[in-house]
Structure 1
Amino acid sequence: MIDEQSAWDAFEARDRSADERFVVAVTTTRIYCRPSCPARRPRREHVRFYADAAAAAERGYRSCLRCKPDEAARDKQAVAAALRLLEEAEGTVRLDALASAVGYAPHHFQRLFSREVGVSPAAWQRARRLGEADRRLGEGASVTAAIYEAGYSAPSRFYDDARSLGLAPARLRRGGNDMVINWARLDSPFGHLLIAATDKGLCRVSFDEDQSALQLRYPAAELVENANAPLIQAALAAIGDPALAAALPTDVSGTAFQQRVWAELRRIPPGETRSYLDIARAIGDPKATRAVGTANGANPIAIIVPCHRVVRNDGSLGGYAGGLERKKDLLAAETKLAQGSLPLLS
């Protein structure tokens, strides 16, 4: 769902970052543009906003010859094609081969892919392999078996990649053995919150859970109740002022697709919402709305990774692990805050 006032403000400011979120159609000229188009601005009553170029074209608008918004659509299609190639590949795909397959120069496609997906092609492939290895370790496979079944050509590559998870592979298989997790159960305007963090980042933020939820997820970890831990205090501050959330590190594992979705959730500004289709389009896979919904529901870091800002394609709220009333309250509070009200927590 597009917030029209925010979209108009971005259009007036020629905000390039908004080019990825919507296109601007002008009813008098029947042309649609990027928000950053350098052309003179039309009157507000002559402007309509659409999620993408295809939506504007369906309503009879033509592409602007000056800012060429269709190139943005072509870029998204190229990224979607590249993601399909990566999903189907049995081994690592080099950047030059990937870029050539979708018709782009390597350096340009590296920037394009990173902008659209949130990580580079190499990082995406590492995350995919790690996610598969993580899944197999969780099923009880040995570290060696998980390494090769996940597609690694050598154990050394897996150990290098595993550092980005903040976990040693054997420790992961043993349920977080040798991990120290600080946690606290705190009150908020939206109910009781469990906040937990390793030394790498937040690993759990959830409603109406307690220490037992962490024991299930990390049965061999050392759990330390410590409400004064810096990351726990930082998370609490970010719940009161959502603009602070983007800077907080997280320490969670997930499939490559889940990581793409969670990264995109963190780009939704406070006070705004996106549909499942919006998120699917943003990650370059517009047909993956159901998978987006599943990844959204699997988000382990509530509020900080704002899955509550995702709604159904028809604008209705959809589901929320914390309950629909709580989702309504969160969205209402963030809207008021975006309009200049006091922080959510005082």
Structure 2
Amino acid sequence: MSEHEPDVHGHCDARFAAVRLAFEENFRDRDELGAAVAVTVDGETVVDLWGGWADAARTRAWERDTVVNVWSTTKGPTALCAHILADRGLLDLDAPVAAYWPEFAAAGKEKVLVRHLLSHRAGLSGLREPHSLEQLYDWELTTARLAATEPWWEPGTVSGYHALTYGHLVGEVVRRVSGLRPGAFLEREVTGPLGIDFTIGLPQRESGRAAELVHPRAVNSSEQAAIFSQLTPAAIAALANPLAGAAEANTPAWRAAEIPAANGHGTARAVAALYGVFAGRGSHGGRRILSAEAAERVREGQGSCRDLVLGAGFEHETEVGLGLWLSGPNGSYGPDPRAFGHDGFGGSCGLADPDAGVSMGYTMNRMGPHIADDPRKMALVDALYRAL
């Protein structure tokens, strides 16, 4: 297996040969290190490919069961937990968060609705006080601080990406209603019954099959200063309080924590299956997880805007639904603006297109500089839709 022409393993239906070609081109032309891609159509797996290296030193091949931290691609499964509870009548997305989490009413947040948490409109993109990674790993401390803090903007008026806080906000509501944090709830309700290889956090016993994340090109201090000078306080709080990257995500402490916005670990096959629940209008693998109505509600747009945290990174306004982003004019999840999904920092992606019956999962370990729409992911999305 050479550096630029790694062996690609797995299965790809002939109809989707363009996806395999794009996957191979990612290694040859787009500096891929190790990666996997999986596609389902009408619940059937039509692409399941992997290749490259699981570590920076190129000593471990990426295997069929290699898992990797997928960053914010985790937010889709976390949103799924809330939608399952809503579908059962246990959670009202139009109710105040404080109806389930009374402490949350502090600092003018008594009218923040559950839907505002799901759609990044709660005004809590990050904490106002310094918050270290070690403190982020402390669930009780992080949720208590979020409950006590004041929003950065008027909740419900505009979206501002809740990069790390999203998982604790939605997750604490899930815990208050179900008694379980999202990781345990997801395992009980979805990944366990469906046999999906995905966890929030990573059990220590599984660490031997985890790929090593590799940093994107280093940003020098002057470039970093230029970037931060353009950010609002709400954006800095979202993206840098605390600051986390590949080095941090490779540590046992990160993997042992529960960060439902950012530390899901799984295979591309698992990501495709989880987003396949949405693509299958609530069903996957012969099992109904959500009613069709509840699955459709996930992509209920909450209004397009220039996101207060990510807006400068997109050519067009973006629109988030109740937990996932609509493809929109950017075509982030294919040509249908009503398709939806979520990207992870550095490149990974989960995609759901119920109208085409398609889901996709893409995982990788060499992180690019993009928070969304990495060129490797977009090449795979484009190839997929050419094949349909």
Q: Do Structure 1 and Structure 2 share a fold, with TM-score over 0.5?
A: no
Looking at secondary structure, tell me which structure has more helix per residue. 1
By relative contact order (CA 8 Å, sep 6+), the higher-ranking structure is 2
TM-score, length of structure 1 as denominator length:
0.26
- Max radius of gyration: which structure? 1
TM-score, length of structure 2 as denominator length:
0.24
